[in-house]
Amino acid sequence: MPKNTITWLGHATFQFTTAQGTSIVLDPWLTDNPTCPIKREQIEKVDVLLLTHGHADHTMDAVAIAKDHHPTVVTIGELAVWLEKQGVENIENINMGGSVTLGDVTVTMTRAHHTSTYTIDDQLLYAGEPAGYVLRIEQGPTIYCAGDTDVFGDMALIRELHAPDIAILPIGDRFTMGVRGAALATKLLGVTQVIPMHYGTFPVLTGTPQTFREALRAANLEKVEVIEMTPGQTISIGG
């Protein structure tokens, strides 16, 4: 029987495949990503492309994937302008708190505490507010993808509104929250399973799954399951 799955492609790039066969790619950085085990051309199908913000380590392959697979692209309006200038079509422009249903998945945009820029003609331009997403899979789990962010108190509202089952949280520090912040985020969200991301790509990203587990224990959250994935690994997720 088909299952819902998650594949980690290194750093902050994930592919979700629902039991009904919908393929969702989040923040595609495959080209020149030192932790990505595959080439962009090896991705066989993309129905939905989600972009949290404009930084290159989250959008490097966005235009190429959009042109290769013609997915529905979900992002904020300012980043949509950049994509349109690159010839990308079929963009669903949403904003904080807004939702769009695409087949068997409903996508809701949430806040993130970070920055967001893109480059046109060597000029660094504002790419709108950074974001996270809640993915509500029909007859499957609800997944909170935090994007690049620090912990913030309104994660408690994400818990109240969306009750996520699984959170995908950055733990690397330096450019996002570190393990202590991620542990507090876990508490605010009320999730029992966390997939760490945005760590190990470069030496400056010092957080690790082990130090994250230690931070969870220190916060009396030792029952939370840290799902430590390796780049290229696919796991099944229940609902």
Question: What are the C-alpha distances in Å from 102 to residues 18, 49, 82, 136, 189?
Answer: 12, 11, 22, 10, 25
The model's pLDDT over 84-114, given as tens digits with 9 standing for 90+, comes to 999 999 999 999 999 999 999 999 999 999 9
| 2-28 average pLDDT score | 97
In a domain, 38, yes or no: yes
| 9-21 average pLDDT score | 98
In a domain, 239, yes or no: no
pLDDT for the residue 119: 84
pLDDT for the residue 238: 79
Domain tally for the chain? Answer: 1
Count CB-CB contacts under 10 A for residue 99: 12
d(CA 205, CA 189): 23
In a domain, 236, yes or no: no
Global pTM value: 0.97
The model's pLDDT over 130-179, given as tens digits with 9 standing for 90+, comes to 999 999 999 899 999 999 999 999 999 999 999 999 999 999 999 999 99
Q: Is 135 exposed, middle or buried (0-12, 13-18, 19+ CB in 10 A)?
A: buried
In a domain, 25, yes or no: yes
pLDDT for the residue 74: 98
Q: Is residue 121's pLDDT more than 60?
A: yes
The model's pLDDT over 22-62, given as tens digits with 9 standing for 90+, comes to 999 999 999 999 999 999 999 999 999 999 999 999 999 99
Domain that holds residue 19: 4-230
d(CA 146, CA 167): 7
**What is the H or E stretch that residue 100 is in?**
strand 99-102
In a domain, 60, yes or no: yes
Q: Is residue 122's pLDDT more than 90?
A: no
In a domain, 177, yes or no: yes
In a domain, 235, yes or no: no
CATH number at residue 10: 3.60.15.10
In a domain, 22, yes or no: yes
